[in-house]
């Protein structure tokens, strides 16, 4: 029962190590909603028994999921599904940092919301089907009461039914996606450019028209790597920078 060839057929060129197959089977249970954020997973030994592999193989699968921030392991307690908790989101998905001092979660003020027909860019980035509608949110975010950025968030209406029924839009959207629609954001791709502030953005941000702004466009993806959210942020980078670690 320990032979890789026993548990799954290896046809043609497509060999996959057993631990990768185990990871996929665990991922399926995550995606299906069987294991919700915050929940305790079965122990390594129990999972090994269920999947008919050794504890070491389960461990290697769980280690790779830990590296991707999908689960959190605590010695003596067990393995938990990662939660979209503020401090983690801040660390993982928010790269803006004050030039002096530590990063913190910025407050938000919603400017507008509503359904719309998607633009060409939105259709491409969110891989929308023909005729699919989107929901847009525009909001201003501030650090210590200073507006620092204005962002336009676009969601495929089909994956977020009744978004417009929300009475309030919380600061931490990724937690909302998870709790209300069971959608977990697992990764994101960001692209940065420098642009000149439009008169509209300048007015909202309280800066000069034509001032250089950092434009951050983000495509956030779920656990199956499907694009879920498109976000355009225009940011005053006078006292703030975008930080990246290269290794």
Partner DNA sequence: AAGTGGTCTAGACCACGGC
Partner DNA sequence: CCGTGGTCTAGACCACTTT
Beta-sheet pairing, 134-143 with 227-236: unpaired
> Please, which of residues 201-230 interact with DNA by CB under 7 A?
none
Residue number with CB closer to DNA (46 or 239): 46
Per CB under 7 A, 9 contacts DNA? no
In 3D, which of 136, 129, 123 has the Cα closest to residue 158?
A: 129
The smaller minimum CB distance to a copy of itself, of residues 19 and 157, is found at: 19
Least separation, in Å, of the C-beta of 138 and a copy of itself? 20
* CB nearer to a copy of itself: pick between 50 and 69: 69
Residues 6 or more apart whose Cβ sits within 8 Å of residue 177: 84, 160, 183, 184, 185, 228, 229
Contact between 54 and DNA per CB under 7 A: yes
Distance in angstroms (rounded) separating the CA atoms of residues 198 and 124: 24
Which 66-85 residues touch DNA, going by CB under 7 A?
73-79
For DNA, the closer of residues 1 and 194 by Cβ is 1
What's the CA gap between 7 and 178, in Å, rounded?
32
Q: Kindly tell me which residue out of 18, 47, 214, 228 binds a copy of itself, with binding defined by CB under 8 A.
A: 214
How far apart are CB 34 and DNA at their closest, in Å? 16
Choose the contact partner of 176 out of a copy of itself, DNA, none; CB within 5 to 8 A by kind. Answer: none
Centre a 10 Å sphere on the Cβ of residue 211 and count the other Cβ atoms it contains.
15
**Of these, 105, 212, 227, 232, which contacts a copy of itself (CB under 8 A)?**
212
Task: Count other C-beta atoms under 10 Å from residue 25's C-beta.
Answer: 16
Give yes or no for residue 35 binding DNA (CB under 7 A): no
What's the CA gap between 26 and 19, in Å, rounded?
A: 10
């Amino acid at each position: 029962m320990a032979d890789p060839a026993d548990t799954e057929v290896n046809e043609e060129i497509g060999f996959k190590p057993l631990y990768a197959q185990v990871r996929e089977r665990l991922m399926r249970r995550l995606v299906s909603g069987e294991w919700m954020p915050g929940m305790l997973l079965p122990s390594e030994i129990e999972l090994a028994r269920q999947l008919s592999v050794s504890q070491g193989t389960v461990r290697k699968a769980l280690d790779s999921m830990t590296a991707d921030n999908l689960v959190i392991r605590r010695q003596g307690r067990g393995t938990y599904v990662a939660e979209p908790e503020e401090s983690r989101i801040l660390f993982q998905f928010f790269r803006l940092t004050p030039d002096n001092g530590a990063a913190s979660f910025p407050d938000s003020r919603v400017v507008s919301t509503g359904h719309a027909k998607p633009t060409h860019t939105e259709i491409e980035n969110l891989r929308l089907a023909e005729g699919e509608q989107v929901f847009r949110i525009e909001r201003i975010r501030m650090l210590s009461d200073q507006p620092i950025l204005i962002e336009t968030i676009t969601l495929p209406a089909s994956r977020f039914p009744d978004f417009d029924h929300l009475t309030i839009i919380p600061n931490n959207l990724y937690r909302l996606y998870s709790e209300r629609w069971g959608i977990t954001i697992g990764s994101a791709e960001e692209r940065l450019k420098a642009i000149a502030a439009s008169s509209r953005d300048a007015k909202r941000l309280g800066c000069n028209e034509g001032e250089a702004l950092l434009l951050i466009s983000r495509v956030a993806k779920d656990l199956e790597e499907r694009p879920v959210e498109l976000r355009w942020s225009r940011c005053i980078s006078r006292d703030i920078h975008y930080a990246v670690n290269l290794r």
